[in-house]
Amino acid sequence: MKRAIAASIVALVLLVAVGFLVTGAEAETVKYKITSYVTKVEMLPVPDVENHFIGEQERRGVAIFENGETAAYHMWCTLEFIGGQGGSYKGYSTLTFGDGSTTMIKFEGTQTGEKLWSGKGTGEYIKGTGRFEGIKGNITYTNKLLTPYTKDETKGDQIVEATATYTLPKK
């Protein structure tokens, strides 16, 4: 009986060790900030309560990582706002790096406030190319609108502070 238990323990230890070797890479955590502005927006009123809107939005900007690396930012989302109560949104974003590598994230979040809202959310890596091929992981972020969106004067300038944790397959 003792031999069977000992053999089971050895087998379990070997299975776990082989599993770590197969799964490969250690997780990496990076922090970065994104500044962006609205390039396209369409809002439709919902006539149930005052200031209720649904819509879609596209943003462009730049991501600046703590290590100094930069990437072009592009985002698409759908959203819903109810005046005075905040809102929710979900969508996709890409980062395109100088070497042509990309990452794509699927995200969702909530926000509060009206003209200069702030919010938070989470996301998951769904695709990577180049040096990010096979990326797996997630992000958490906060965001804050710095200027309101207007058709003529300001374009809803925003800053996002993100923390990403991801792994890449062993090469």
Q: Is the residue at 11 inside a domain?
A: no
Q: Is the residue at 16 inside a domain?
A: no
pLDDT at 25: 65
108: Cα within 13 Å, side-chain hemisphere: 2
Spell out the SS3 assignment of the chain. CHHHHHHHHHHHHHHHHHHHHHHCCCCEEEEEEEEEEEEEEEEEECCCCCCEEEEEEEEEEEEEECCCCEEEEEEEEEEEEECCCEEEEEEEEEEEECCCCEEEEEEEEEEECCCCCEEEEEEEEEEEEHHHCCCEEEEEEEEEECCCECCCCCECCEEEEEEEEEECCCC
pLDDT at 12: 38
Report which secondary-structure segment, H or E, holds 68: none
Q: Is the residue at 12 inside a domain?
A: no
Instruction: Using DSSP bridges, classify how beta strands 70-82 and 86-97 pair: parallel, antiparallel or unpaired.
Output: antiparallel
DSSP 130: G
Q: Is the residue at 8 inside a domain?
A: no
Q: Is the residue at 136 inside a domain?
A: yes
Q: Is the residue at 1 inside a domain?
A: no
20-24, 33-37, 76-80, range with the lowest pLDDT? 20-24
What CATH number has the domain bearing residue 33? 2.40.350.10
**What does the pLDDT average to over 10-27?**
47
pLDDT above 60 (res 14):
no
Q: Is the residue at 13 inside a domain?
A: no
Residue 9 sits at φ, ψ, to 5 deg, of -65, -45
What are 97's two structure tokens?
């790096």
The count of domains in the chain is 1
pLDDT above 70 (res 7):
no
pTM for the model? 0.82
Q: Is the residue at 10 inside a domain?
A: no
Domain membership of residue 73 as a residue range: 26-167
Q: How many angstroms separate the CA atoms of 84 and 29, rounded?
A: 35
Question: If pLDDT is split at 50, 70 and 90, which confidence band does 98 have?
Answer: very high
